[in-house]
Amino acid sequence: MTQPGSRDRVPSLLRSLLYDHLDPGYAAAARKRVDAGTRSPRARRIAAVWLVSGALLVGMSLGLARGFAEERAPDADQVRASLQAEIRSAQARSRELALQRDALAAEAAAARSQALALDAPGQALLSTLHRAENAAGSVPVSGPGLMVMITEPPGQRDLSGASRPTGQRNTILDRDLQIVVNALWQAGAEAVAVGDVRVGPGVAIRQAGSAILVDNRVAADSSGTYVISAVGDRREMQSRFIASGAYIRMSGISQLYGAAFTVREESEITLPAAPVREVRSAVRLGTEGSGIEEEGEP
């Protein structure tokens, strides 16, 4: 039988909380400090030496790392400048080769036209080729037309994306230009260009960060203006374009966000040829089988 008062020998949790205010860990820590204070002077000196040595080692490591980073910084700048110079040189060489290609293509087209114009079958073939070239946009075109200019609102002119604050978005998006271009085609345009790039087969208008690219070229000029040119019957195109959903959409964006949107007639517009695509495969008409040939074969 349990003796009276035996419950008091084992204090309950509530009794411990009420009367034992000091956690046992504090008492153990206090005893440890007392024991550490009773160490010999030699032990304390050894501990101090280890502490100072560790601090010096950490400081030397940080200093060496900083010095190494500072030594590498000029090298990184030089490498970046060298790469930028190489890119500019390659771009200049690419433009030079493109001009040579266009000149050679013009010479070949002139020789072809001269050879085909000698007889009736050649003239018929030449007419078919001209229609195909115009449809593909592979030749420059000039004539009257419309010019649509869309400018980003003030404060959003840096379209490279390099210094644009995080979270800031363009007012004019790629789908806006796509809608305008499609509306011009529907209004009767014979040829359309965005900036210096002719819109043709394989030419895409897409967003890349804060920039809009047309055939991988930045569509906006230095002032943040997108210029869309269309060759055709300017009066009919203007009346049909103003009645289109694209005009209503861009007018609303202009009023809501402050983007400049203008449409004007031009008596003479010259559009460049569309980018030339490399032929990688061809189908020979009138042959059996797949007819797909390897690159380089006739």
Shared domain for 187 and 233, answered yes or no, is yes
Residue 17 or residue 204, greater confidence: 204
Reduced 3-state DSSP string for the chain: CCCCCHHHHCCCHHHHHHHCCCCHHHHHHHHHHHHHHCCCHHHHHHHHHHHHHHHHHHHHHHHHHHHHHHHHHHHHHHHHHHHHHHHHHHHHHHHHHHHHHHHHHHHHHHHHHHHHCCCHHHHHHHHHHHHHHHHHCCCCEEEEEEEEEEECCCCCCCCCCCCCCCCCCCCCCHHHHHHHHHHHHHCCCCEEEECCEECCCCCCEEEECCEEEECCEECCCCCCEEEEEEECCHHHHHHHHHCCHHHHHHHHHHHHHCCEEEEEEEEEEEECCCCCCCCCCCECCCCCCCCECCCCCC
> Which single residue is written with the structure tokens 């979270």?
167
Residues 179-218 have pLDDT tens digits of 999 999 999 999 999 998 899 888 899 998 888 999 888 8
Structure tokens at 37: 């204070």
Q: Which tokens is 279 given?
A: 């032929």
Measuring CA to CA, how many Å separate 131 from each of 9, 109, 124, 177, 232?
Answer: 110, 14, 11, 27, 16
Q: Are residues 152 and 109 in the same domain?
A: no
Higher pLDDT, 73 or 48: 48
Same domain for 20 and 76: yes
Distance separating alpha carbons of residues 266 and 273, to the nearest angstrom: 19
Q: Verify that 129 and 235 share a domain, yes or no.
A: no
In the predicted model, is pLDDT for residue 241 greater than 90?
A: yes
Domain range for 252: 141-271
Q: Are residues 182 and 252 in the same domain?
A: yes
Is residue 96 assigned to a domain?
yes
What is the total count of domains within the chain? 2
**What proportion of the chain, given as a percentage, has pLDDT over 90?**
30
Question: Do the beta carbons of residue 192 and residue 145 sit within 8 Å?
Answer: no
Q: Cα 53 vs. chain centroid, distance in angstroms?
A: 51
Find where tokens 């695509």 sit. 277
**Mean pLDDT across the stretch 220-232?**
90
- What's the confidence (pLDDT) of residue 98? 78
**pLDDT for the residue numbered 9:** 54
The model scores a pTM over 0.75: no
Task: Report the pLDDT value the prediction gives residue 36, as an integer from 0 to 100.
Answer: 63
Per the model's pLDDT, the better-predicted residue between 133 and 167 turns out to be 133
| Residue 290 included in any domain | no
Tell me, yes or no, whether 132 and 154 share the same domain. no
Q: Is the CB of residue 170 less than 8 Å from the CB of residue 219? A: no
Task: Examine the domain organization and report whether 208 and 247 are in the same domain.
Answer: yes
Q: What is the CATH number of the domain that holds 172?
A: 3.30.70.1880
Nearest to 95 by CA among 217, 208, 13, 206: 217
Is 212 within the bounds of a domain?
A: yes
pLDDT tens digits for range 147-184 = 999 999 886 544 444 444 444 568 899 999 999 999 99
Q: How far, CA to CA in Å, does 64 sit from each of 59, 73, 77?
A: 9, 14, 21
Domain assignment present for residue 1? The answer is: no
Residue 297, pLDDT > 60, answer no
Would you say residue 273 has pLDDT above 80?
A: yes
CA dihedral sign, ordered 111, 117, 119, 121: positive
Could you say which of 136, 164, 184 is where a domain stops?
A: 136
